[in-house]
Homo-oligomer: A and B are copies of this chain.
Amino acid sequence: MDKPATIIDIAKALNISPSTVSRALNDHPSISAQTKKEVHELAEKLNYQPNLTARNLLKKRSGVIGVIIPEITSYFFSMVITGIQDIVSSVGYKVIISQTNESFEEEKKLTHEMALMRVEGLLVSPSFNTTGFEHLEEARKSGIPVVLFDRDCPGFESSKVFVDVYDGAYQAVKYLIDSGCQKIAHIAGPVSIPTFQERFNAYCNALSDQGRAADPALIVYSPGFSAEDGVSAVHKLLEQTSGIDAIFCVNDAVAIGAMHVLREKGYHIPQDISIIGYDDEPYSCYFSPALTTIWQPVYDMGLLSSRILLESINKKAPFRHEVLKPELVIRESSKGA
């Protein structure tokens, strides 16, 4: 419409100076009650809205924090974002979210853009293909504190918030052992990706801690981690070994694909085979049988990492490394202990 009203318009109209108007609006103590009243009334009348750009220029702040994640279209990351926003918006910050789609190049570009727009802090969950950390270092050199969450970027020194992936996987496999399963298989994700490597390690260690060596015939290395991958992985598994009575799947999607195939082949779950997933996706409890899985404190991760970020924005603090504990959620797809 018309040009928005400025502090100068108000000043002219009341025949006072812009600084007085500014102070009146900010409730500065050395402005008389009378003047304040007049200013506020006129501001109201003119529908005055402060120009945040001007204020930010002066204050050298942007009021924005940046979030860089691999993808937004997953329960996991969208829930983290919710946690982040709940904290961050309560102290007046805005959030800018960008997706890398697991591309390192994209991640570098986005980090640079965020630095350019002078976000006051950066929450990053690096892509699976991220191999360096110069981009994060660059952001920090510009004075932007960085907090990593869910995924690490080895070598980069900063505050970090992770879930104890190993612990979750270990719990799952331990539970299968305790419930009497003898031939416990594992559909592993791409082990080049640290989180899947950890789940794999936990599987091996949980077994060997009970005096059982991990049997290569019981392991399938899946190139991906979608439900489709679960379908092909379980086919392969059934070909290479018989008598399996449990499968620890690298995540819920794979578990769901696996269950689909097993049911078609006439297996009963959990009577013939116990299945455990990882992630506790929203619908996992509605499959039949309802999926036993590992729940992760996703929302809490958003809360905690943004709290830590806000701390480091406000004052120089030593880096914090926080590890949240996942929980085994026992449902129907696994035999009782």
Q: What is the interface of chain A, defined by CB distance below 8 A to chain B?
A: 1, 4, 49-54, 56-57, 62-64, 71-75, 78-79, 81-82, 85, 89, 94-99, 113, 115-118, 141-143, 227, 256-257, 260, 263, 281, 283, 286-288
Contact = CB atoms under 8 A, between A and B. Distances in A.
Nearest to A283: B283
- Copies of this chain, complex-wide, total 2
A142 B1 contact: yes
A33 to B, nearest CB: 27
Given A4-B142, A52-B116, A256-B286, 4 more contacts: A52-B117, A53-B53, A63-B117, A85-B98
Q: Chain A interface mostly helix, strand, loop or mixed?
A: mixed
Q: Which 6 A-B pairs have the closest CB atoms?
A: A73-B78, A53-B57, A256-B286, A283-B283, A72-B78, A53-B56
A263 B257 CA distance: 20
Nearest to A1: B141
Contacts of A98: 85, 89
A51 B60 CA distance: 10
Contacts of A96: 64, 94-96
A95 B95 CA distance: 9
9 contacts: A53-B57, A53-B62, A73-B75, A73-B79, A94-B117, A260-B286, A263-B288, A281-B283, A287-B288
Given A97-B95, A288-B260, A227 B53 contact: no
A224 to B, nearest CB: 15
B53 A116 contact: no
A115 B89 CA distance: 16
Contacts of A256: 283, 286
Contacts of A71: 82
Contact of A286 (B81, B82, B227): B227
Nearest to A85: B99
A116 B98 CA distance: 22
A283 B81 CA distance: 22
Contacts of A54: 57
A75 B99 CA distance: 15
A288 B81 CA distance: 32
A118 to B, nearest CB: 7
Contact of A257 (B56, B79, B286): B286
Contact of A116 (B49, B82, B113, B116): B49
A282 to B, nearest CB: 8
Contact of A287 (B56, B118, B141, B287): B287
Contacts of A288: 260, 263, 287-288
Contacts of A49: 115-116, 142
A141 B115 CA distance: 32
- Interface-central residue, A1, A62, A117, by most chain B CB under 10 Å: A117
A4 B139 CA distance: 12
Nearest to A63: B117
A283 B288 CA distance: 13
B81 A72 contact: yes
Contacts of A63: 117
A148 to B, nearest CB: 20
A116 B96 CA distance: 16
A10 to B, nearest CB: 17
